[in-house]
Chains A and B, each alone.
Chain A
Amino acid sequence: MIDIFQILNYFFEIFSSDMMDIPLIAPIVDYLMQIPLLNILVALILWKPFFAVVIMPGLGVLTLYLLYIVWYERKLTARIQWRVGPLEVARPIRGAIQALADGIRYFFQEAIVHREAHRPYYVQLPILAFIPVLLPILFIPAGSAVGIYTPYSIQLIVTFIALIPITIVAIGWAANSRFAYIGSVREAFMYFAYEVPFIIAVISMIFLYGSGDAYIAVEKQSTIPGVLLNPIAFVVYIIAMLMATSRLPFEIPEADQEIAFGPFVEYSGILFGLVMVLAYEKLYIMTLLFTILFLGGWSGIYCPLLGDLNGPLWLFIKSVVVISILVIVRSIYARYRLDQALRIGWTSMLALSIVALIIGGAVGVWLS
């Protein structure tokens, strides 16, 4: 018995040594910390690495964001298209929990695995695909809350983002159907089209800040945000983001009218629910990096009541605002053809990214 208490105490020491300091809820936290056993739970939740990964800007708000963005995108598109959009699920709040209702429906729907599929991979891959999507969260700092601190955080995030298409190609291969096959080939092509300009654009920003450390990047943007320091990299990053998350006008791997959702054509039930949100999660991760690189990251108006929560909150708010602006392209543009998208990726975007690299180097020298 003593051993268990010692172990618990040991963990409690670790957790409570590095806790989020939020004056707004400080009285409640202080009261809970006096209760044995419950205090270790509270200390864990408010432990900075845990808070960053699981609560904010990690999994907790990621779920909230998914519920919000699916509804918001549909509602915005509907407003543009002279419609009402989702309304019937929870009428008083204008159908805001529509995504939740859809998720529950997916959950209880039969997930059919067709005969031609490579069954183990087919079932596993939607879940495995979450690993490269969620790993970057470990390295994304938000103010003082950070999962794992490393001076190479930007490079690491980019690396994990680059892993995501591989799982999608594998999904298409495991589905073993005509349209899924065409969809994975298209995904692979698009991967090559955006990945090179995207990485060059990020490298130009690393040049500019002189470090791959997100803290240094944010610190250097304290007067002028990155978008003004290197607007070309900003443009390249936005286009690459649209391509990477297969949003219109680059919704080519999943083009539902052409190849019926491409790699995901055979999925149903909760498996479809999982693969459907993959692109949204990728968009979220890329937008977090985008905010850190170009929009001053977690710096914002400091509210003393929130204390340490200021950083994560500002990062989240900025990201959601950026995404809310980005979803409007869905209702404006038609889909490009694969060869046109590849041409854009390998000519104008590549040229722009190299210009951005030069600007990044020049401004980096001026800043240092």
Chain B
Amino acid sequence: MEEYTLDIPVEPPKELRSLFIPIPPAYVEDVYKSDDFLILVGPQHPGSGHMRLIVRVKGDIIQEVIPDPGYVHRSIEKLAENRLYIQNIPLVERPAIMDAANFNLGYIRVIEEALDIEVPERAKYIRTMLAELCRVGTHLYDAAILAVFLGHTTGFMYPFGIRELICEALVRVTGARFTSSFIIPGGVRRDVDNSTLKWIYDMTLAMERRLKSFERIFIKNPTVIARLKDVGVLTKEEAIKYGVVGPFLRASGVEYDVRKIEPYEVYDELTWDIPVSDAGDGYHRFLVRVNEVAQSLSIVRQCIKQMPEGRVISEQIAENGEDIRGSFYDSLYDLVLPAGEYTTLTEGARGTIIYSIISDGESNVPYRVRIVTPGWLYLRGFMESMKGERLADLQAIYGSFGYFPPEADR
């Protein structure tokens, strides 16, 4: 299409100088001189999370998106330096409360690796089950957000309704709807009885039936497919180059999953597949997660079937008995990690979570806790995938990535 330029002097609006946007004034001037338009989406906007997106559009086509993360930064890493190792457990769950068990698990595994704590088999199964329940919950939450970003309110309500089952399961196991702090060094807080396990087993089957109605109304909906297909495409090379992680990397055709590459807990004893797709567009990023929900529910069922009897807390931690209840603080308050740096990789719902603890070997608080969350890792790929798409696709791509600013900002 031929372009017609009008030689009208355009002044950049004054508010762009007073809004503390993290771009140089020269950039703003350049945008206004070249017939483009700057749109500030967020941090308080129905179609963005708590993050400002500075969108440069030419007509309806997005030229560039500059993220301005940090709006919900809570300095979790700094706070962690002033607390006991066990006091950090509730803290490190906070970045993504839907995905609490995976965040919790990653942190605990660093401590266990540093102290060479052997975890009992039953505790490992319970941990795996919790992690997968949280994964399902997070994927449902992201699906709901994607639906409401596309204007599909039924697609928003169904996953939240289905997610209540996950919350109920977590309540029955841990006592809290999501941030349960259930996983502790050496095992889990308490055992799970058989009737609860039976309930969770039945719940996964009930959930699959409900997911079918969600599939009918949202996943197979022609308008949804029209909005998401071939939108925000990241090729395999681009996805690797920009360091995309998790289901979004797998949607671009890279078969990478920490649970398979470096299996932790009992993932190597269970049979499951990595859902992969080659398309790399918004719809397949969503589909990969939908397939992961099915895999996760299968993992939960396998965990319940194969769960052995025995202790749920390591003998190294609870020396006196099988139960840590009542002596939790006494057993764990004086944890001191040997000097050095310890790192683990965990596959959270949205991707790889990197936990790294540096200890000086003598204090009972960490010297440094480094958390790299998946949201922060795929932010670049997320921004790159929006180039050249239409303005209305911004929300579709946002939803297809399930970007969660509190998680990325930490």
A residues whose Cβ falls under 8 Å from a Cβ of B: 77, 80-83, 178-179, 182, 248-249, 251-252, 255-258, 260, 330-340
Contacts and interface: CB of A to CB of B under 8 A. Distances in A.
14 contacts: A80-B154, A81-B154, A81-B156, A82-B161, A182-B39, A182-B391, A257-B150, A333-B223, A334-B152, A334-B218, A334-B223, A334-B227, A337-B227, A339-B390
Nearest to A249: B223
A82 B158 contact: yes
B392 A258 contact: yes
Contact of A251 (B47, B151, B221): B151
A334 B218 CA distance: 8
A260 B45 contact: yes
Interface size class of B (residues with CB under 8 A): 20 to 34
B155 interface: yes
A255 B157 contact: no
Nearest to B164: A82
Given A82-B158, A178-B39, A258-B395, A338 B390 contact: yes
A178 B392 CA distance: 14
B154 A255 contact: no
Most chain B CB within 10 A, of A81, A255, A334, is at: A334
Q: Which of B39, B151, B161, B393 has the most CB of A within 10 A?
A: B151
Given A256-B46, A333-B221, A81 B60 contact: no
B226 A340 contact: yes
A88 B151 CA distance: 26
Nearest to A340: B226
Given A337-B393, A338-B60, A339-B390, A82 B157 contact: yes
Interface of B: 37, 39-40, 45-47, 60, 147-158, 161, 217-218, 221, 223-224, 226-227, 390-395
Given A178-B39, A249-B223, A332-B217, A257 B395 contact: yes
A237 B39 CA distance: 35
A255 B223 contact: no
A252 B217 CA distance: 20
A337 B217 contact: no
B245 to A, nearest CB: 26
A260 B158 contact: no
A93 B153 CA distance: 25
Contacts of B37: 178
Contacts of A182: 39, 391
Contacts of B390: 337-339
Nearest to A252: B392
Given A182-B391, A334-B221, A248 B227 contact: no
B60 A333 contact: no
Nearest to A344: B226
A255 B155 CA distance: 16
B282 to A, nearest CB: 12
A331 B154 contact: yes
A81 B158 contact: yes
Given A334-B223, A335-B150, 6 more contacts: A77-B153, A81-B154, A83-B157, A178-B37, A257-B150, A333-B152
A335 B47 contact: no
Nearest to A251: B151
A334 B224 contact: yes
A236 B285 CA distance: 35
A184 B223 CA distance: 23
Nearest to B394: A258
Contacts of B151: 248-249, 251, 255-257, 334-335
